[in-house]
Copies of this chain bind each other. A is one copy, B any other.
Amino acid sequence: MSYKDRKVINIGMVSELTGLSVRQIRYYEERKLIFPNRTEGGTRKYSFSDVEKLIDIANQIEDGMQSSEIKKMQKRKSDRKVRDEMIRGQLNAVFGIRK
């Protein structure tokens, strides 16, 4: 896993990096748009990927999109990815296509 995906950033810094309030960041978690890790003590930890995702979310919100819609879009995107990967995996298994 690359640095981009390591959950090491606190919510205050995420707020600074994204321009969102910590209230908003926690709320988007409540709506299941992001999934920070937690320390033993319960402090949230985010990755740069999370930060990027939050910036996307902020833009979509700004465009008048609702969080339930954003979630659906994320699901569609992720489903697409899974399908692609399955297909690629199958092709690879059957035909030994590289990479």
Question: Which A residues are closer than 8 A to B by beta carbons?
Answer: 3-4, 6, 8-10, 12-13, 17, 39, 45, 48
Q: Assess whether A17 is in contact with B8, with CB atoms less than 8 Å apart.
A: yes
**Closest chain B residue, CB of each to CB of A45:** B13
Is the beta-carbon distance between A48 and B3 smaller than 8 angstroms?
yes
Closest CB pairs A-B (n = 5): A3-B48, A8-B13, A8-B9, A3-B3, A3-B4
> In the docked arrangement, what's the CA distance between A10 and B17, Å?
15
Give chain B nearest CB distance to A91 CB in angstroms: 32
Residues of chain B with a CB closer than 8 A to A39's CB: 12
In the bound complex, residues from chain B placing their C-beta under 8 Å from that of A17 are 8
Q: How far is the CA of A9 from the CA of B3 in the complex (A)?
A: 12
Q: Which of B3, B4, B6, B10 is in CB contact (< 8 Å) with A10?
A: B10
